[in-house]
Amino acid sequence: MGIKVITEKCTGCELCIKSCPYGAIEVVEKIAVIGDNCNLCGACVEACPKGAILITREKSQRKIPEGYSGVWVFAEQWDGEVAPVVYELLGEGKKLADKLGAELSAVLLGETIEQSAHELISHGADTVYLVEGPALKDFNDDPYTQVLAELILEYKPEIVLCGATSVGRSFMPKVATRLKTGLTADCTGLEIEEKRKLLLQTRPAFGGNIMATIICPENRPQMATVRHKVMAQAKRDETHRGKIIRKNFDGKLTSRTKILKEVQEREETANLAEADIIVSGGRGLGEAKKFGLIREFARELGAAVGASRATVDAGWIPYSHQVGQTGKTVKPKIYIACGISGAIQHLIGMQSSDIIVAINKDPDAPIFKVATYGIVGDLFEVIPEFISRIQKGHL
Amino acid sequence: MNIIVCIKQVPETAEIRIDEKTNTLVREGVPAIINPFDTYALEEGIRIREKCGGGVTVLTMGPPQAEQALREAIAMGVDSGVLLSDKAFAGSDTLATSYALSRAIRQMGRFDLVICGKQAIDGDTAQVGPGIAEMLGIPFIAYVRKIEEIREGYIRAERLMETGYQIIEMSLPSLITVVKEINEPRLPSLRGMLKAKKTNISVWDVEKLGGDTGRFGLDGSPTQVIRIFTPEPRKGGEILQGAVEEQVAALIERLKETKLV
């Protein structure tokens, strides 16, 4: 196991140095030398034009576990309502299942939620595994982990997908760890490889500066959490038929964590991860109360409210609105940055939005480098003008 | 209270630039820092010790130079540091990393709370914290934005969710991952920096951790990276010209054309 440079092939061209995200390569006397902080990520293998870098693994003794088939989608629900990302996963899951010639199933946990199971079937699920009980009403790590892990062991799906939501990213790692299998976080692309029928999982890393494609060749199931708003939602088809398999976990569920209270802090606006449009405010607002203008603008557009780190740190708006490296990564259809200069930490969190609109006084602000449409101007003039045109029915 | 804080040394992602000609990462001169989310974990660990007494140990896995990150943590006020460093750990995915860190925590004896940052800014997976909790068989709360109460055998905390928060309680020993909102990390003090220079950092190899050697590093990692590529860089678009009315009218036209609104 390890990485090696085939010295006869290496020309000392240094392309590997440029490709290494860890800065682990040097060229000494025209030969690449790989240092201790190499993480075996393989970027240099890809970059080397001579094929001079090899990563070798010990010949695996493991066999691919047998009997695993089908694609599963974890159907996250809140107050009995299925999260929108689930319909995106059913749309994508159907494509994967068709390529594998396999079934698409959903797993639904909650208190009394049979109605939602039919909704999942109308969106393409051939089977819904339904587990109801008071312990499953709201998300709680322990019972959710226990139920999903046991269902997977019993029914052996080949692929398990879940939204990269707070819920998915909290308990899926526990499920994967319990099953000793791989989990790829926050995927933006899924495909089936032709030859071995493996799931190709593509995701951003290093703040979106690089993309990595990841496989889980020898362990089952292959598990991934998937980012919102990337995959197309499954179309609703009431004629689609599927079956519901009820499982009973009464008396078997335990939890070491107890949820004492749930507090909704949702403003009148939608949540950032699910929003089609986000209006974000930055330092250019000048003071806390000016966020009222951003809120009004968002309301008119039916948008969610985002914020730059500077405004959150200044206490103008709660942290849950922060977009960027230490806040949230978002990918709305339209992102409108108002008075945000566009520090790289902010861009990391929003640069994969479909359309970016920037409104800023400074024509040299870095935000204009990524903006689809830019307006160099005073946001206190531009936004009211925009709002008045919406109110007049221009949009 | 015995607290263990797990941290990761990461490249300062924000400093990474793309070479526009070759569309590759320019990694030269990018500093290595403590993962920003982990600084909140360190601060929280130190605050709990200041309130409840006990000690804070910082733990990381990485190449020998990751020792620097541990010294920075000690300069902030942490008591001691352990570095897991061995070529056998290279290529660890989140499962193998969780395994190594959980083995190390077991070796440390009695502990009350393990604190991790929500995620690291290089991998962004957020999987190692819950992975460690699962391997240690202890309860876990993700995305903690506030500890409401902590005492012998008990913690109550607020977990940040997409549309609000939950108040959750559990017994100790347990593990939490923390978000930025939880505190404001302190800067290293002069005394801390002097202490950091003198403190002996324990370096543990794969043998010290024991366990199943097949579960470390590349061989213990079910996932494999098969391709790394740079996405097409985003290009700047159109700057809308004219007076405010004209700019806004033009923007509205453009947005209408997209049929997204």
Chain A positions touching B25 (Cβ under 8 A) are: 18-21, 43, 206, 209-210
Cα torsion B246, B251, B253, B256 to 10°: value is -160
* pLDDT given for residue A310 in this prediction: 93
DSSP letter assigned to residue A328: B
Q: CB atoms < 10 A from the CB of B151, how many?
A: 12
3-state class (DSSP) for residue A375: strand
* pLDDT tens per residue across span B106-115: 999 999 999 9
* pLDDT given for residue A265 in this prediction: 72
Tell me the sheet residues that pair with A107: A74, A129
Distance between CA atoms of residues A290 and A306, nearest Å? 14
As a whole number, mean pLDDT of residues B99-108 equals: 97
Q: Which of A178, A262, A327 sits opposite B164 (nearest CB)?
A: A262
Cβ contact B247–A377 (<8 Å): yes
Tell me the sheet residues that pair with B155: B150, B170
Q: Which residue of A has its CA nearest to B92?
A: A39
- Looking at the predicted structure, is the pLDDT value of residue A164 above 60? yes
Q: Pairing mode, if any, of strands B202-204 and B80-84?
A: parallel
Pair B221, B93: CB distance under 8 Å: yes
Cβ contact A265–B163 (<8 Å): yes
ipTM entry: 0.92
* pLDDT given for residue A60 in this prediction: 62
Helix (H) or strand (E) holding A97: helix A84-100
Residue span(s) of chain A under CATH 3.30.70.20 come to: 2-56
Cβ contact B251–A180 (<8 Å): no
Interface with B, mutate which of A64, A174, A213 (most B CBs under 10 A) = A174
* pLDDT tens per residue across span A323-352: 998 888 898 999 999 999 998 889 988 988
DSSP letter assigned to residue A121: H
* pLDDT tens per residue across span A13-44: 988 888 787 778 889 999 999 987 787 878 88
Interface with B, mutate which of A256, A276, A323 (most B CBs under 10 A) = A256
As a whole number, mean pLDDT of residues B127-146 equals: 97
Query: What is the pTM (predicted TM-score) of this model?
Result: 0.89
DSSP conformation letters of chain B: -EEEEE--EEE-GGG-EEETTTTEEE-TTPPEEE-HHHHHHHHHHHHHHHHH--EEEEEEESSGGGHHHHHHHHHHT--EEEEE--GGGTT--HHHHHHHHHHHHHHT---SEEEEES--TTT----HHHHHHHHHT--EEEEEEEEEEEETTEEEEEEEETTEEEEEEEESSEEEEE-GGG--PPPPPHHHHHHHHHPPPEEE-HHHH-S-GGGSTGGG-S-EEEEEEPPPPPPP-EEEPSSHHHHHHHHHHHHHHHT--
CATH topology of domain A2-56: Alpha-Beta Plaits (3.30.70)
Q: Which residue of A has its CA nearest to B173?
A: A256
Residue B128 Cα, gap to closest chain A Cα (Å): 8
Q: Which residue has the tokens 């950092």?
A: B201
* pLDDT given for residue A52 in this prediction: 93
CATH class of the domain defined by B2-220? alpha beta
Distance between CA atoms of residues A200 and A193, nearest Å? 6
Which residues 6+ apart lie within 8 Å of B79 measured at CB? Answer: B49, B55, B56, B57
Q: Which residue has the tokens 């899924």?
A: A190
Cβ contact B95–A180 (<8 Å): yes
Distance between CA atoms of residues B76 and B59, nearest Å? 14
Cβ contact B180–A319 (<8 Å): yes
Cβ contact A212–B258 (<8 Å): no
* pLDDT given for residue A226 in this prediction: 95
Chain B positions touching A182 (Cβ under 8 A) are: 93, 95, 221-223
* pLDDT tens per residue across span A84-110: 999 999 999 999 999 999 999 999 999
* pLDDT given for residue B237 in this prediction: 87
Chain B positions touching A198 (Cβ under 8 A) are: none
* pLDDT tens per residue across span A350-359: 988 999 999 9
Size of interface A-B (CB pairs under 8 A): 319
Q: Which of A210, A217, A374 sits opposite B237 (nearest CB)?
A: A374
Pair B185, A288: CB distance under 8 Å: no
**Range A272-391 has CATH code 3.40.50.1220:** yes
As a whole number, mean pLDDT of residues B18-27 equals: 62
Domain ranges of chain B: 2-220
Q: Pairing mode, if any, of strands A334-338 and A373-376?
A: unpaired
Chain B positions touching A345 (Cβ under 8 A) are: 14
As a whole number, mean pLDDT of residues B11-17 equals: 73
Superfamily of domain A71-247: HUPs (3.40.50.620)
* pLDDT given for residue B26 in this prediction: 64
* pLDDT given for residue A268 in this prediction: 47
Helix (H) or strand (E) holding A146: helix A141-155
* pLDDT given for residue A247 in this prediction: 96
> H helices within A250-352, ranges in order?
291-301, 309-313, 344-350
At residue A135 the predicted structure's pLDDT band, cuts being 50, 70 and 90, is: very high
Choose the most confident range, by mean pLDDT, from A199-208, A313-322, A370-379.
Answer: A370-379
* pLDDT given for residue A193 in this prediction: 93
Pair B40, B70: CB distance under 8 Å: no
Tell me the sheet residues that pair with B6: B59, B116
As a whole number, mean pLDDT of residues B227-255 equals: 88
* pLDDT given for residue A44 in this prediction: 86
Closest CA to A53 of A25, A72, A74: A25
* pLDDT tens per residue across span A40-72: 878 888 889 999 998 877 666 678 888 999 999
* pLDDT given for residue B18 in this prediction: 63
Interface with A, mutate which of B223, B230, B254 (most A CBs under 10 A) = B223
Q: C-alpha angle with apex B117: A262 to A167, nearest 5 degrees?
A: 40
* pLDDT tens per residue across span A207-231: 777 889 999 999 999 999 999 888 8
Q: Which residue of A has its CA nearest to B222?
A: A182
Residue A296 Cα, gap to closest chain B Cα (Å): 17
Chain B positions touching A333 (Cβ under 8 A) are: 258, 260
* pLDDT tens per residue across span A256-301: 999 999 888 765 445 888 889 999 999 999 999 999 999 999 999 9
Q: Which of A258, A263, A369 sits opposite B236 (nearest CB)?
A: A369
Q: Which of B139, B219, B248 sits opposite A57 (nearest CB)?
A: B219
The pair phi, psi for residue B46, each rounded to 5°, is -65, -40
Q: Pairing mode, if any, of strands A277-281 and A2-5?
A: unpaired
Distance between CA atoms of residues B47 and A275, nearest Å? 37
Peptide bond between residue A221 and the one before it cis (omega within 30 degrees of 0) = yes
Q: Which of A38, A145, A265 sits opposite B164 (nearest CB)?
A: A265
Residue span(s) of chain A under CATH 3.40.50.620 come to: 71-247
- Looking at the predicted structure, is the pLDDT value of residue A1 above 80? no
